[in-house]
Amino acid sequence: MQIIPLSEDFSRIADVNQDIEELGKGYGGAIGPAEGPVWVKDGSYLLFSDIHNNRRMKWASGDGVTIFQEPTGYANGLTLDLKGRILACEHGPRRVTRQDKDGEITVVAASFRGTRLNRPNDIVVKSDGCLYFTDPGAPAPELDMEYSGVYMVSRDLGTITLLVRDFVTPNGLAFSPDESILYINDTRRQHIRAFDVLPNGTLALASDRLFCDLSGDEPGVPDGMKVDSEGNLYCGGSGGIWVINQAGDHVGTISHGEPTTTNVAFGGDDWKTLFFTTWNTLGRVQLNIPGSPLPAGGDFD
């Protein structure tokens, strides 16, 4: 395990001599991997999905990893909304849900124009409260949709808008710090695309551009991703977690030794810890640049 700088100023981002820590292992399986890490500031702990075992795990300093909730609908991607409620992409029932602190579940999205969703995968929240999620998997005999889509859900959950449908496998998605750009990766094509965001929250399709190709000779494909406060993007790619600057240049790799990175999340008291999941493990590395904080108020204990 090592951090491999590819630019002279990478030391601004991370100390290349530090250890990459493994926090837990033994998750995942045939149905799905460890996924969806999200930091809960009010409580100082991390939640993540153990898809294969249909459970949500919790990591906290001093306690290690414990079971937080089960079953979870074989949930994949997780995040928090503006009130700190858990948003989850559930593979089993093929829906996106919101969980209140008392455990009540609200269905955010399960269909589009009367057709059932595929398998919602990852989700982000914009500062105005709108939700954005990816829905890969189609076309497939067991699914109803003819395409894989990326959607926006209004803050009141009343309107679902299809943003784009020409990805093969839309997966991770993340906003630039000022929310003027939405990055979406395509696992099958092994690249990230960038779209300008219009004032109404939809995408300027004419601005669609290739941001970065993450293919290479070593194992690893794009999956979940996050952006730090300076606009650097962190995403699984060939050989580990790629660090990509705002210009789309690959400036360094966090090589954790596992075949694939499934997702990443910023956390810790200063938001400078990058937690990451692989198929079977949970790990972390320290950065010099914080990520953008998620909403507070999400302590579900």
pLDDT tens-digit series, residues 51-83: 999 999 999 999 999 999 999 999 999 999 999
Containing structural domain, residue 115 = 2-286
Query: How many angstroms separate the Cα of 17 from the Cα of each of 57, 118, 171, 281?
Result: 30, 43, 31, 22
- Contacts of range 14-21, beta carbons closer than 8 Å, 24 or more positions apart: 14/243, 14/252, 14/254, 14/285, 14/286, 14/287, 14/288, 15/286, 15/288, 16/252, 18/285, 18/286, 20/254, 20/255, 20/256, 20/257, 20/283, 20/284, 20/285, 21/283, 21/284, 21/285
Is the full-model pTM beyond 0.75?
Answer: yes
Read off the amino acid at residue 285. V
Query: How many angstroms separate the Cα of 75 from the Cα of each of 16, 39, 49, 50, 299?
Result: 34, 16, 6, 8, 19
Tell me if 301 is assigned to some domain.
no
Residues 226-260: tens digit of each pLDDT: 999 999 999 999 999 999 999 999 999 999 999 99
Tell me if 295 is assigned to some domain.
no
Read off the pLDDT band of 298 (50, 70, 90).
low
Tell me if 291 is assigned to some domain.
no
Query: What total of structural domains would you count in the chain?
Result: 1
Q: Do the Cβ atoms of 157 and 108 come closer than 8 Å?
A: yes
Query: What average pLDDT score do residues 132-160 get?
Result: 97
Asked if the model's pLDDT at residue 300 lies above 80, the reply is no
Question: What is the pLDDT at residue 299?
Answer: 57
Under DSSP, is residue 269 helix (H, G, I), strand (E, B) or coil?
coil
122: left (phi over 0), alpha (psi -120 to 50) or beta: beta
Tell me if 189 is assigned to some domain.
yes
What CATH number does the domain containing 67 carry?
Answer: 2.120.10.30
All residues at 6 or more sequence positions from 206 whose CB lies less than 8 Å from its CB, including other chains: none
Tell me if 125 is assigned to some domain.
yes
Tell me if 239 is assigned to some domain.
yes
Torsion angles phi and psi, residue 11, rounded to 5: -60, -20
